[in-house]
């Protein structure tokens, strides 16, 4: 098989890149180890920055996002028994949309298949060869048959545990990582929304987050031990913990419902550089991970593939390689900004077991400053809605 761009991974990064390249007349093939059903049903967070919303709209895949997603103009910070609203739109002129990642994937898969795009599901034994040559290749097995995909470029969009990043030798790669000493216990619940906007709560028992998925399904989280077991948490215990951490003096109450999914996710910050070697480029979680507090993961992936689509378009139209050569440098400016914001939000809102009373007082002072200073609130809002693309 031959193509111009071989893409490993059919997550948001890989699928969107394939579609953006198609719109520019550049052929690609997407390889995915999972089934279509798997990638369309794996529920993950979905806070879309303004720039991400704009890219999906421009790519012609924003109709369902616009009609079914929840457009939010603010968020709330809760601490000390009170809630404080950060007006994102008033501070920045921009907004966010809550629209789950698997719904974005559904839209992108449908768009690629409608355009006769090639997505090969359930591939195995994937390996990358010749990245320092002008014609790298991807070897894999599909439907029981060994195959070889020859391309001009290989793009690794296969996540943190994928095979693409290790293709860059350890001697040329530097990884930065922080593992946080806590995780998030997440639930999906059948209920009406408890709030019109997301609530980020800081409490002496730990962080909590009220989010939404649809008018009838809500997503809530609370800080927990990452080594805990979901079986240790009955529904009654979960609701008691959320009520304790979230309810405020203004009479607001969390709405309960049937919990139909429970899971625990670990939290890490991770960056691998460079994000390219020869004709291999990394995008999304293959190159960087952020803790979910800042709602940046999928948005960074979208920013990465936007850069790659522009650079590849420049290469094929004009024969110029400047965008490709500067990909790592350009992408990392946004990545490190998002890493810092996600770290800051995590530090601001979570309980650290080893925090001294002095450090706890500093945390509260910073929260008070954010909700009382327009300048501080604007910094939060600008980063949360996503900085404009350069």
Task: Tell me which residues are annotated as active site.
Answer: 72, 200, 292, 296, 384
Half-sphere exposure of 213 (CA within 13 A, CB side): 20
DSSP 215: S
Whose tokens are 């989010």? That residue is: 211
Query: Burial, 374: exposed, middle or buried (Cβ in 10 Å; 0-12, 13-18, 19+)?
Result: exposed
Q: Which of 230, 225, 259 is nearest to 353 (CA)?
A: 225
Q: Which of 286, 335, 345 is nearest to 307 (CA)?
A: 335
Residue 6 CA, chain-centre distance (Å), reads 22
- Cα–Cα distance measured from residue 237 to residue 26, given in angstroms and rounded to the nearest whole number: 53
- Cα–Cα distance measured from residue 103 to residue 65, given in angstroms and rounded to the nearest whole number: 8
Task: Report how far apart, in Å, the C-alpha atoms of 72 and of each of 79, 188, 215, 255 are.
Answer: 21, 20, 14, 19
- Cα–Cα distance measured from residue 91 to residue 291, given in angstroms and rounded to the nearest whole number: 24
Give start and end residues of each alpha helix (H) in the chain: 12-23, 36-41, 50-58, 63-68, 88-92, 101-114, 235-246, 297-318, 322-325, 327-349, 357-372, 374-385
Q: At what angle do helices 374-385 and 357-372 cross, to 10 degrees?
A: 90
CB atoms within 10 A of CB 315: 18
- Cα–Cα distance measured from residue 74 to residue 51, given in angstroms and rounded to the nearest whole number: 16
Inter-residue contact 379 to 337 (CB < 8 Å): no
Exposed e or buried b per residue across 221-243, where buried means at least 16 C-beta atoms within 10 angstroms of its C-beta? bbbbebeeeeeebeeeebbebbe
């Amino acid at each position: 098989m031959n193509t111009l761009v071989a893409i490993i991974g059919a997550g948001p990064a890989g699928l969107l890149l394939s579609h953006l390249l198609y719109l520019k007349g550049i052929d690609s093939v997407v390889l995915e180890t999972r089934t279509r059903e798997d990638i369309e049903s794996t529920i993950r967070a979905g806070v879309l920055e303004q720039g991400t919303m704009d890219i999906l709209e421009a790519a012609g895949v924003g109709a369902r996002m616009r009609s079914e997603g929840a457009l939010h103009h603010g968020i709330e910070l809760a601490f000390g028994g009170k809630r404080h609203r950060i007006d994102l739109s008033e501070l920045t002129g921009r907004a966010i949309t809550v629209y789950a990642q698997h719904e974005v994937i559904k839209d992108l898969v449908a768009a690629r298949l409608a355009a006769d795009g090639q997505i090969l599901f359930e591939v195995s034994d994937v390996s990358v060869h010749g990245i320092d040559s002008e014609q790298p290749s991807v070897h894999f097995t599909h439907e029981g048959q060994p195959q070889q995909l020859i391309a001009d470029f290989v793009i690794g969009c296969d996540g943190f545990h994928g095979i693409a990043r290790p293709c860059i030798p350890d001697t040329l790669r530097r990884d930065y990582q922080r593992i946080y000493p806590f995780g998030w216990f997440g639930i999906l619940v059948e209920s009406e929304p408890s709030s019109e906007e997301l609530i980020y709560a800081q409490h002496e028992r730990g962080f909590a987050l009220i989010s939404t998925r649809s008018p009838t399904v809500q997503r809530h989280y609370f800080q927990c031990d990452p080594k805990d077991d979901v079986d240790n948490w009955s529904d009654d215990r979960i609701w008691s913990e959320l009520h304790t951490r979230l309810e405020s003096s203004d009479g607001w109450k969390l709405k309960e419902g049937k919990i139909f999914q429970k899971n625990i996710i670990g939290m890490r910050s991770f960056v691998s550089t460079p994000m390219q070697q020869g004709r291999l480029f990394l995008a999304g979680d293959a190159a960087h991970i952020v803790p979910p507090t800042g709602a940046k993961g999928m948005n960074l992936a979208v920013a990465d593939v936007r850069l790659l689509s522009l650079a590849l378009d420049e290469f094929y139209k004009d024969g110029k390689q400047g965008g490709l050569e500067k990909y790592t440098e350009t992408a990392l400016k946004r990545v490190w900004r998002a890493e810092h914001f996600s770290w800051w939000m995590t530090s601001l809102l979570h309980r650290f077991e080893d925090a001294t009373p002095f450090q706890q007082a500093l945390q509260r002072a910073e929260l008070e400053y954010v909700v009382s200073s327009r300048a501080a609130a604007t910094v939060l809002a600008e980063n949360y809605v996503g900085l404009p693309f350069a």
